[in-house]
Amino acid sequence: MPAAAAHSSPSRSRTAAVLVAVALPPLALAAAGLSHPSQLTDATAMHWRDMHIALLPVFPLLAIAPILLARRHDRRLGILAVVLGFAYAVCYQALDILAGIAAGALKLEGGQGVTTMYALADGIVVTGVWSYVAATVLASALVIRHAGLPALPGSVIAVVAAVSFVDSHIFFPRGVITMLGLAIGWTWLALASCGPARRGPGRPGAPATDRAEAAA
C-alpha cells in the first residue's frame, strides 16, 4: 500500500504540472484581452505598446500544450509538433513586435509607418497561426487515439478555438472567448491524455510510449 501511494503521488504531481502548463498561458492571455484596446489610437497607443511588451514571453507559451501532448503519445510525430510550435512562436512574435510594440510606438510619435507595420505583421503571422492549427489537430488526434471518445469534446473545443485564433488575436470579446476555449480544450485533452488507454482491437499495435504513459 505505501508503495502504491508513493507511485501515485509523483503521477498526480506530473498531471498537475501538465494541467498548469497547458491552461495557464491561454488563461493569462484571456485576462490580458479584457483590457486590450479595440483600436490603436492616440489615446490607447501607450497601453497598446506596453501590453504587447509585457506579452512577449506569453504568446509563445501557447505552443506548450500541443507539443507536450503530441510528444506524450508519439515521439516521432512529437518532432513535427515541435516544428509547428516553433513556426507559430516565431511568427506570432513578429506580429507582437511589429503590430503591437512597433505600431504603438510609432503612433505615439505621430502615426507614420503604422500601416506598414500592420502589413508586415499580417504577411508573417499567417504561417504562424495555421501552424498552430495544424499542431492542435495533430495533438488532438493523438490524444483521441490514446483515450478514444472521451477525448473528442476537448479536441473539438481546442481545434475550433485554434481556428478562431487565426484572426481573433486576444481582442475582446471573441479573442478572450478563444483563449478560454483553448484553456478548456487543452485541459480536457490533458486529463484524457493522463487517463487510461482505451481498450479495443487496435490497441495492441499502439506505440510503446503510449502504453507506457497509460501505465504511469
The answer to the question of residue 72 being in a domain is yes
Residue 4 lies in a domain: no
Q: Note the pTM of the prediction, 2 decimals.
A: 0.87
Look up the domain containing 36 and give its range: 15-215
Is there a domain that residue 172 lies in? yes
Query: pLDDT averaged over the chain?
Result: 90
Residue 74 lies in a domain: yes
Domain assignment present for residue 7? The answer is no
The string of pLDDT tens digits covering residues 117-147 is 999 999 999 999 999 999 999 999 999 999 9
Would 134 be classed as within a structural domain?
A: yes
**Any domain includes 119:** yes
Cis peptide before 60 (omega within 30 of 0): no
Percent of the chain residues topping a pLDDT of 90: 82
Total domains, the chain: 1
Q: Look at residue 49 and tell me if it is in a domain.
A: yes
DSSP for 105-155 reads HHHHTTSTTHHHHHHHHHHHHHHHHHHHHHHHHHHHHHHHHHH-GGGHHHH
